[in-house]
Chains A and B, each alone.
Chain A
Amino acid sequence: MAQTVSSPPRLRERDQGPAHRPGRGPTDWLGGWRTMFVACGLLLASFLALRVYQQFYAWYNEAGLNAASPDFKKYWFSLFVILVLLAGAISVAWWGWLVITGRKLIDKPVSRNEEVRRIAVFWGLVAATSLTLYFMASFFPNQDGVWHQTLVRDTALTPSHIVMFFWAFPLGITMTVGTYLYGRYRLPAVYGPEKGFPWSFFFLIAASITEMMQVAMNEWGHSLWITEEIFAAPFHWPFVTYGWLASGIFALWAETAGRLLQLEEQEAEKATVEASAA
């Protein structure tokens, strides 16, 4: 809160946020909330495009049925490499950008308008994280279920795994860590470094990381130990923990809503001061 001042004289325009533009205010759909639409739109487009690709190239034309075949290498192994590299590149680029630009911003005074806008952006990133969690935990697992219960198991790189384990799951880490970095540098009143590491993010990030670790255990088990496909097998239960750990996301909403209410208090105090001065 030390960074927040009610009428900073030295604020540059970008720190003030785009509130002066009509329809682009901190709580306008095209203002503070725009990030939510863009982030969710990009993620949704990637998941749906991959689902369409699966429809054509996974099953009915048989390219995805046999990991030992040349067609599999062409249609699926190449996609696996592309997705892993892309997820890695996006993460490094986005996290890097958040840290590099964030370091310049963190000690600068910020207006209430701008901080509210950032909270809206933060909620937008939380929304995108939530969307990713849905594709990780419901949309693609449904496909993985029907895949394994219908076809003979075939390496860790089935078409359903490639999209779920190596695109949706890594993006879960990208989104949770990225959202934290956004909060750390741009909402220091809530997630500033001097406060320590928030438990809320600890659980949420742990959710996506344990999920990746569980992939490794799952494939070890299915390769060397468990041969059949009972979806509700105890062996699969550790995957559930991440659905539960993801509850940390509610703490994010609460923490930032608390900050929003603090800003409202400040706004009210300012109005009182102005009224008494008048």
Chain B
Amino acid sequence: MATTYTTTDARPPDSRTEALRALLNRRYRFLDRKWDIVFWATAVFVVAAAADITKLLFAGDWDFWTDWKDRQWWPIITPFAVIIIPSALQYIQWLAWRMPTGATYTALCLAVASWIGRIVQWDWFAGFPLNFVWPVSIIAAAIWLDWVLLKTKSMVLTSLIGGFGFALILWFANYITLAPFLQPMEWMGLPMTVADVQGIEYVRAQTPEYLRMIEHGSLRTFLGETQYVSLAFGGTLAVAGYWIGQAIARGLAIWPIGRYIKKF
């Protein structure tokens, strides 16, 4: 670890560079690895909290049930909701530690929190089968976001390239697990998907079917292209969501550092 700063630049480093290199490897008396462990381990909770509440309250219904994971609304609402906190953490961790980890870290926290929620509350408490209430995984999309930041070193480029790709990868990764639920079957002689039948059979009295915001068809659904226009729009919304995350990180996490309200 101590010698990983070597660079191919043949020019001799100036004194400031030398000083910063030395500073990176400086040994401290109090600042041991325990501070790192505590930071990474205890930030899990607040990051999971922020990411999950943002997902639950912006896109919760689409995340709760397979019969809501449709091709019109799910691909636009979910990426917008789930990119906000990864974007914020990406800024914080890149700025503070220069690590391209914020999005992946958030995605892991969210995955654990979501699964605890679904297992402990939706399954153990309410008795819904997990294959009806599984949450989306945003980890693959988050890795993409972190990788784009590492390569571009730019929040603007990451928002544009990373944000758009985030929405696409999110859908690709989760469509793989949604596929078995889109298989056709019959229910009382009517064709529908396995997901629809789950929605009918597993009693959820206060979420009547008419609340389900999914594709109903429209006179302007041209050439059956619902999926593609939704993905494209989802990508652009993710870019917008990315900047909400940036505003949170810059305005609420970083800006307040060392600032005080002098009179209150």
Contacts and interface: CB of A to CB of B under 8 A. Distances in A.
Touching in the complex, A and B, CB below 8 A? yes
Interface stretch (B47-55, B173-181, B190-198, B221-229): B47-55
Nearest to B65: A149
A215 to B, nearest CB: 14
Contact of A244 (B92, B120, B248, B258): B248
B96 A123 contact: no
Given A199-B260, A260-B31, A141 B61 contact: no
A232 B257 contact: no
Contact of B121 (A142, A195, A261): A142
Contacts of A148: 206
A250 interface: yes
Contacts of A240: 53-54, 57-58
B237 interface: no
Contact of B206 (A112, A198, A228): A228
A152 interface: yes
A57 to B, nearest CB: 12
Interface residues of B, number: 70
A143 B29 CA distance: 45
A264 interface: yes
B252 A142 contact: no
B38 A55 contact: no
A251 B252 CA distance: 8
Interface in B101-148: 113, 116-118, 120-122, 124-126, 128, 133
A54 interface: yes
A138 B49 contact: yes
Contact of B256 (A26, A150, A198, A230): A198
A131 interface: yes
A246 B261 contact: no
Contacts of B5: none
A164 B200 CA distance: 30
Nearest to A257: B35
B211 interface: yes
Interface string A233-274: 000110110111111111101110110110110010000000
Interface residues of A, number: 75
Contacts of B249: 247
B39 to A, nearest CB: 6
B4 interface: no
A33 interface: yes
Contacts of B133: 146
A26 B30 CA distance: 8
A40 B258 CA distance: 27
Contacts of A58: 125
B259 interface: yes
Contact of B261 (A126, A202, A232): A202
Contact of A197 (B31, B56, B59, B260): B260
B125 A264 contact: no
12 contacts: A33-B38, A36-B42, A136-B49, A146-B64, A147-B126, A149-B204, A197-B261, A199-B256, A231-B61, A249-B43, A260-B30, A260-B35
Given A240-B53, A243-B85, 11 more contacts: A137-B49, A142-B118, A146-B128, A198-B260, A244-B54, A244-B248, A250-B43, A250-B254, A260-B30, A260-B31, A264-B31
